[in-house]
Structure 1
Amino acid sequence: MNKKQLALELSKLDEFTSPNVKLEQYPTTSEIAADALWQINLDKNIKDKVIADFGCGHGVLGIGALILGAKKVYFVDVDKDALSIAKTNLKSLNKNFKSYFMNKNIKDVKIKTDIVIQNPPFGVKSTHSDKIFLLKAMETAPVIYSFHKYSTKKFVESFCKDHNFTPRLIQRYKFPLKRSMFFHIKRVHLVDVGVWRITKN
């Protein structure tokens, strides 16, 4: 499978029908998910790895990781409806993937994995939610791949260093936020987003 084929497979997944404003539920596009996962795979951090997808939403990152050969993926989301969509999406592939679905607040998650891949809330509607996700990821795995608004670069990198992790920006995207909330004016709003590889020292 190549990156284009992965993006095509991920594009078939269902997304949110009624996104939650407070949870900042903006689905990662299939193209961005495929590109980021391909980079992570080139780092040899997917195949045969146990991975956690925190704030999994409709499951695009975790499902993509399974397609690329992850040993097992934990799908974690506080929203039962989002988790249900992720389950349905995974089932639609008709593959015998190892997965575990956890309907929990991220603060209450207690697992250990090889890798965490996450696109957490950007902390716009719920202040410091991105920090909460980073802390939990650091408790969970020695290697983390995390999406954040590029404008928070200084915070992300200093926060990681303060917690004995080394951050490295590996990708940068114009992240399209589709008009899915009632207060949105533009049909698509582009947000500058970075993906960091964060490793324990």
Structure 2
Amino acid sequence: MLTKKQLAIELSKFKPIKEPNEQLEQYSLDIETAAELLWHAFMHKDIEGKVIADFGCGNGILGGSALLLDAKHVHFVDTDQKMIELSRENVKSSNTTFHCTDITKFKTKVDTVIQNPPFGVKHEHADKVFLEQAFKVADTVYSIHKIESKEFIEQFVKEHDYTVETIIPFDFVLSKTLRHHRKSKYVVKCGCWVLRGKKI
């Protein structure tokens, strides 16, 4: 079994998103944060031996982490064929299924959803769609959002009979990859919400 440090080393081999789609708000999560979040999920028995869905998988760093921590199977879901191909390239495992489709069309029941949804800069509350779909297929959800969205997220979660177990805070460092970025790096205060619902 990998240690958290070894997990980060393995993730450093993943190819990042080089030409992100601005409309889809594609951002690569940094290696240390991905390792920290998935290690938390692993220690809380939400990964090993479980079936996982990675919504908006991007370069596959979250789902790939789950596989490195002995997930039983991971579904990688993204509307962008380029991201599916990138995930497929990064993830070297047969315990995978890749879905180039809208997340709302993913109906397979899983144990845990891990997701890094759009922040809603281009489309307000785009993350709401991700949460709704995650709640339809999983009892446990790890979902990344801006900390400033805390009130909205927690009200939405409550309306769907899920509870917030914890929020893991972190700084999301955005490199200058999109055209409207003027600084070389941006830091966004974010958190990973760990959500628990009724058994499906």
Larger CA deviation: 161-170 vs 173-182: 161-170
- Structure 1: gaps (5+ residues): none
2:4 and 2:167 mapped to 1: Cα distance? 17
- Structure 2: gaps (5+ residues): none
Counterpart of 2:132 in structure 1 is 135
Structure 1, residues 59-95: CA drift from partner, whole Å, max 9, x if none? 000000000000000000000001100000113xxxx
Amino acid at match of 2:69: L
Counterpart of 1:145 in structure 2 is 142
The answer to whether the Cα contact below 8 Å between 1:66 and 1:97 also exists between their aligned partners in 2 is no
Structure 1, residues 166-198: CA drift from partner, whole Å, max 9, x if none? 013331001101100122111110000001111
1:150 and 1:35 mapped to 2: Cα distance? 17
Shift of 1:150: 0.4
2:14 and 2:105 mapped to 1: Cα distance? 28
Counterpart of 2:151 in structure 1 is 154
> Runs ≥4 in structure 1, deviation > 4 angstroms?
none
Shift of 1:104: 0.4
1:184 and 1:170 mapped to 2: Cα distance? 28
1:8 and 1:20 mapped to 2: Cα distance? 27
Shift of 1:165: 0.4
Shift of 1:42: 0.8
The answer to whether the Cα contact below 8 Å between 1:169 and 1:194 also exists between their aligned partners in 2 is no
How many pairs does the alignment contain? Answer: 197
Larger CA deviation: 79-88 vs 96-105: 96-105
Shift of 1:106: 1.4
User: Which among 98, 102, 126 is matched to residue 99 of structure 2?
Assistant: 102
User: Which among 161, 174, 177 is matched to residue 174 of structure 2?
Assistant: 177
Amino acid at match of 2:116: N
Amino acid at match of 1:32: T
Structure 1, residues 140-176: CA drift from partner, whole Å, max 9, x if none? 1011010000000011111000110001333100110
User: Which among 117, 122, 139 is matched to residue 119 of structure 2?
Assistant: 122
2:13 and 2:190 mapped to 1: Cα distance? 23
Amino acid at match of 1:110: K
TM-score (norm 1): 0.96
2:147 and 2:165 mapped to 1: Cα distance? 13
| Corresponding residue SS for 1:73 | strand
Shift of 1:8: 1.1
Shift of 1:30: 0.9
Shift of 1:128: 1.9
1:183 and 1:47 mapped to 2: Cα distance? 40
2:34 and 2:15 mapped to 1: Cα distance? 14
What is the RMSD computed on CA atoms of the aligned residues? 0.9
Counterpart of 2:3 in structure 1 is 2
The answer to whether the Cα contact below 8 Å between 1:56 and 1:76 also exists between their aligned partners in 2 is yes
TM-score (norm 2): 0.96
